[in-house]
Copies of this chain bind each other. A is one copy, B any other.
Amino acid sequence: MNPSQKTGPTDTVLRKAGRGDLLPIARGNAMSAGACDNAFDDCDRAAVYRAIFTRRDIRSDFVSEPIDDAVLARLIRAAHHAPSVGFMQPWNFIVIRDMGRREKVRDLFLSARMQEEAKIAEDRKELYRRLRLEGICESALNICITCDRDRANGSPLGRWHNPEMDLFSTVCAVQNFWLAARAEGVGVGWVSILDQSALKALLDIPDHVVPVAYLCVGRVSDFAPVPELQRKNWRQRLPLADLVMSECFGVSSDNSLARAIDGLAEDWPGS
């Protein structure tokens, strides 16, 4: 794309056109007005926050309904538009539908969970056992999002000091997928209780590729108002003000920002 195009209209919005197709409509020229005009209008901004606040890690609320390939394609494209270090786009998306394979992944989960349970503090074991932690076979499909660590061979921009940045880029793709899925009414659950080398063997993943996220994806009966682990008293949400620091680690936030945090309206259940 020619750099001169940068001076053209840069902000567009999708509107429904005809049979559910999304088409771009120009929405003013961001260059012609002040910087604040780069902000979305209130409704669009609220929609983004709505996706962020109502996204859930789904385990038990999947319903037996397929996902349209058109929807799945949009979710994968959203993931593909994540930021990536040196624009290396290290991700792949393995879509797993075969129930035999999914049952094998669930077996991996079950055995990993048993190993993890042994490490959980005695007084929390009972609660741990009651938690539902995956929907591998109940969801419409699974997706493994991987990171190809060799993709930027020869031009490792931004990875010399922090080689894990490609893994982090892949996680950004996961979060894009997750938020887009929320907007589409599709639930996502991230299964992290899996032995990585066993999973790699099961999905023929080569040595230089890391399975960053194993996701269960499907329609759901409900997006619960608060995270399941909060509702089941595994852990409560931490007070935001305690997490914000000023200039250096451990130094309380400055007064003005602290007041702004205190003044945040509770827009969403559990927020």
Contact = CB atoms under 8 A, between A and B. Distances in A.
Nearest to A21: B265
B95 A269 contact: no
A168 to B, nearest CB: 5
A248 B205 CA distance: 7
A189 to B, nearest CB: 9
A28 interface: no
A116 to B, nearest CB: 4
Contacts of A55: 81, 83
A110 interface: no
Contacts of A46: 13-15, 22, 44
Nearest to A145: B243
Contacts of A160: 112, 115-116, 119, 193
B171 A11 contact: no
B73 A261 contact: yes
- Interface footprint category on A: 35 or more
Interface string A222-261: 1111110111001101101001111111110110110111
Interface string A36-65: 111110111111111111110100000101
Contact of A52 (B6, B16, B87, B176): B176
A14 B128 contact: no
Contacts of A22: 42, 46, 49, 265, 267
B121 A154 contact: yes
A249 B144 CA distance: 9
Nearest to A179: B48
A128 B160 CA distance: 13
Interface in A6-21: 6, 8, 10-16, 21
Interface string A144-185: 001000001011111111101101100110111011101111
Given A47-B47, A248-B203, A260-B72, A87 B227 contact: yes
B179 A157 contact: no
A176 B205 CA distance: 29
B192 A85 contact: yes
Contacts of A168: 167-168, 171, 174, 212-213
